[in-house]
Amino acid sequence: TSVTSFYEQVGGEATFHRIVAKFYEEVAKDELLRPLYPEEDLGPAEDRLRLFLMQYWGGPHTYSEQRGHPRLRMRHAPFKIGPAERDAWLRCMRIAVDEVQLSQQHRDQLWQYLEMAAESMVNSWF
Ligand code: HEM
């Protein structure tokens, strides 16, 4: 039997590369999100998010080889993430996901995860 991962089904690294590159193009223009990123160069953050998502969806485990256990809530603790930041993050991600051609089913599956993940990163309610 051959069971292919979501990662493979949507086109592998090239697809994640396109989504995350577009996402960071939007972050760069976002006046709420951009100041949260400590580094002037968004490239390294782009690499980390792309590698994380590739791993999450069944691709190579390069993220954990480089960064260890994701512990994403802990890694986001230094940044104030309220409902406005969550919504801005999802708005950028929506634009990015809409750029690639995915089947309705893959899109829905990806989006459901991203909404859940963004909600779980909220650490400030004012
Ligand atoms: C890192 C913001 C949601 C995955 C970061 C960083 C910021 C940030 C400022 C540090 C940049 C860096 O890597 O140097 C936010 C905001 C969110 C959000 C405002 C709004 C809800 C998410 C979600 C995911 C995610 C939903 C996953 C689906 C990551 C990853 C890193 C990261 C993998 C790098 C962690 C590491 O290895 O150090 N985020 N994030 N973020 N974020 Fe988010």
Q: How far is CA 28 from CA 40, 75, 120, in A?
A: 10, 20, 23
Percent of the chain with pLDDT over 90: 96
Protein residues with CB under 6 Å of any ligand 1 atom? 33, 36-37, 39, 45, 48-49, 52, 67, 72, 75-76, 79, 81, 85-86, 89, 117-118, 121
**What is the assigned CATH class of domain 6-120?**
mainly alpha
Ligand 1 atom closest to the CA of 49, numbered from 1: 33
Ligand 1 atom closest to the CA of 93, numbered from 1: 26
Q: What interface predicted TM-score (ipTM) does this complex get?
A: 0.96
User: How many Å lie between the centroid of ligand 1 and the Cα of residue 105?
Assistant: 25
What is the per-residue pLDDT for 34? 98
pLDDT in tens, 6-43: 999 999 999 999 999 999 999 999 999 999 999 999 99
DSSP states of the chain: -----HHHHTTTHHHHHHHHHHHHHHHHH-TTTGGG--SS--HHHHHHHHHHHHHHTTS--HHHHHH-S--HHHHHTTS---HHHHHHHHHHHHHHHHHS---HHHHHHHHHHHHHHHHHT-----
What is the per-residue pLDDT for 1? 60
pLDDT in tens, 62-121: 999 999 999 999 999 999 999 999 999 999 999 999 999 999 999 999 999 999 999 999
Given pLDDT bands bounded at 50, 70 and 90, which one contains residue 3?
confident
Q: What rounded mean pLDDT belongs to the chain?
A: 97
